[in-house]
Amino acid sequence: MKRLLYFSLVATLLLACKKDSMDAMHANDLTSIAGSWKLIEVERLSLSNASVWEPVPAAQADTLVFRADGVILNPDGTPRCCAPKSLIINGELMDIKPQFAIPANPICALVNCVYCPTWELSWNDDVLIVSSCLGSKTKYVR
């Protein structure tokens, strides 16, 4: 009888305990970066091999739009060509899982991508630094 009681108690505990949802923490991070980000600077190497942030002319400024589910779009709402499948936001890995349909982007068929599966994002207030596996860094603001 005690075994049956212990078994049912353990089963209840296992079923009642829910895992601290990393998805909820990821959702908070993704919602905090959701919105439009305008490119302002690109990191370059100087002649002395030091990293220097170089301003981007307004005419050449790019804009990234993050949806709340992590999908990266162009300003016109089409998906970004060569977008990553996951993001590392302030040190936490998050897979991009579209919550609703992503529109087609016919231009992507014409683009030859050097694919980078993960982008690393350093986010602080209204400044976002995007690092790709190719070693490039770009700085965006809201």
Tell me how crowded residue 78 is: count the other CB atoms within 10 A of its CB.
16
pLDDT by position in tens, the chain (length 142): 666 555 565 666 556 654 444 444 445 556 678 999 999 999 998 788 888 999 999 888 899 999 988 899 999 999 999 899 999 988 899 999 999 898 889 999 998 888 889 999 998 888 999 998 888 899 999 9
63 located within any domain: yes
* pTM strictly above 0.85: no
Residue 92: inside a domain, yes or no?
A: yes
C-alpha to C-alpha distance for 73 and 36, rounded to whole angstroms? 9
Neighbouring residues of 7: CB distance < 8 A, sequence distance ≥ 6? none
The range of the structural domain enclosing residue 123 comes to 20-141
The answer to whether residue 74 is domain-embedded is: yes
Residue 70 lies in a domain: yes
- The answer to whether the beta carbons of residues 83 and 89 sit under 8 Å apart is no
For residues 128 and 141, the answer to whether their CB atoms sit within 8 Å is yes
Q: Is residue 87 part of a domain?
A: yes
Domain count within the chain = 1
**128 located within any domain:** yes
Q: Is residue 9, in this structure, part of any structural domain at all?
A: no
Residue 39 resides in a domain: yes
